[in-house]
A and B are shown apart, each in its own frame.
Chain A
């Protein structure tokens, strides 16, 4: 008998920037992917011990339990203002907010606009899934025309509810915004691009180049009434059509940066 040796190669492990806790997110929800991408970027940059996160009100309210770093919990929509206060007295730390569409584009519209307008040197991860998740599937400012939600049971009627808000397009008009891009999480290729953009956004902050935001088109199978696969397909088709992917604002200083990639 020959001596049989087992060789194990570690190809995947939990990021140091995540805790051991399992998340409460629904099956098929892309919050887990967003968390993972942010954690990988923070690990790769080696800044976990210098990073402070701000959790939103919404499904990601427990983000502070899942990220293995200093964290604060904001009031609904106010994370950018809170991040401003934290960053101004901690200019050497990395400060990021994690916000949903109701949080950022509705109740916190003023805070995100002015934080971007000031060129606040923070990073915003913006989860756009076109619905209010935690309260059970009501219309968001990003809900698509015709999309059924529990508060638009016949579909979003633009005569009554107006049009969806495209936050990347709006914020990219502000001189203070440095890096504003939209990516999607509906397949592997796009997830890889999303990670590159998140890395770039954190690099922008590390180099003191100002406000950075990555919008991530995300799925909510539970509240959309779809299977996980159907939901991802809907992101890739309907949401990408309504919210085109791309770089909406990349300041000249960022284009001159050596490291990182725009995706």
Chain B
């Protein structure tokens, strides 16, 4: 497939279709609505299911229902809409169903605005809904990566029977870039649906999908199973990219759009002779704590850059274990930092660490 100019929201929607997504349920919300519109045209063309729900609450419960049937199913939304989905996501987590969700974050709290933000890191990465669970969370930094991670998300969701959330922001949803889409994968045939799915108890004992365990000992067993799964996810699914860290004295840690902005700043800083590199976590859960820990041995100082008030910062602190200084630069409320601002922060850190 050749590269074509694609808008982020169209690109991930089409990538999901090509990954064999059989049903999409959603509700319009800026800045992700183009994905819903794309699905509304393409899914019926292919004989698949598209439905605009009456709310995000209904949309995620439709996803829950379709996931019970063992088909590849997804939704997408933006921050306020994702908040409404938290109840359903918790049930899906408790029922151990594979589901993919894309969150195109916008400024908040409250109605906020429709500009790009990373303010929902804590909500999404740490769980979000009630109860003891973690979704896999993947953060792209380009349209191409958005496409690739969407395809991967369906495989991961099914591998672990868990929720995979792609955490992007309004700029990634709205930007257009040349990117390549994958080959079309057909949807799974009815006979190929997983043995646990609800398809009618023909010649077998009934399947029940529930997250209700009245006896705490039984619920604890479920929690332990989820924990075991998380341990496996933490061992196998850590993803990150790094740039110019080999000889770096300063490491910038930033995800998604912030990571991409930081990349420009780092290149400019290198031209000024500052030995700085970038670590861009892609899997926010599981978080690359071990790589961060190693950085604590190799660099003098860390600079965390986020489009929020310092949420991933907490995870970086866990990785660094207080061994070296960590500074933070963030813009909030839908304001996107410019590479020059980040460069200035790198320069400040550099003059401080050179002086010490």
Contacts and interface: CB of A to CB of B under 8 A. Distances in A.
Given A49-B201, A51-B200, A89-B23, A74 B61 contact: yes
Interface string B208-224: 11111000000000000
Nearest to A47: B200
Given A49-B200, A72-B65, A82-B65, A114 B73 contact: no
Contact of A88 (B59, B66, B198, B206): B66
Interface in A62-121: 64-65, 67-75, 78, 81-90, 93, 110-111, 113-114
Nearest to B66: A85
A84 B65 contact: yes
A85 B198 contact: no
B69 A89 contact: yes
Given A81-B61, A85-B66, A89-B71, A70 B198 contact: yes
A59 interface: no
Contacts of A68: 201, 206
A220 B55 CA distance: 33
A230 interface: no
B22 interface: yes
Interface in B179-232: 198-203, 206-212
A55 B65 CA distance: 12
A74 B212 CA distance: 10
B222 to A, nearest CB: 13
A175 interface: no
A195 interface: no
Nearest to A117: B54
Main secondary structure of the interface of A (DSSP, over half): helix
Contacts of B66: 85-86, 88-89
A88 B49 contact: yes
A54 B62 CA distance: 12
Contacts of B210: 55, 64, 71-73
Contacts of A49: 200-203
B25 interface: yes
A69 B69 CA distance: 14
Given A75-B87, A85-B62, A85-B73, A93 B68 contact: no
B115 interface: no
Given A71-B208, A73-B210, A111 B203 contact: no
B203 A84 contact: no
A206 B65 CA distance: 19
Nearest to B23: A89
A52 interface: yes
Contacts of B206: 67-71
A199 interface: no
Contacts of A113: 54
Contact of A110 (B55, B65, B71, B207): B55
Given A49-B201, A64-B208, 10 more contacts: A68-B206, A69-B201, A71-B210, A72-B208, A78-B64, A78-B88, A83-B65, A85-B23, A85-B63, A86-B69
16 contacts: A68-B206, A69-B201, A71-B206, A72-B65, A72-B68, A72-B210, A74-B64, A75-B64, A75-B91, A81-B53, A82-B62, A84-B51, A85-B25, A90-B199, A110-B58, A111-B58
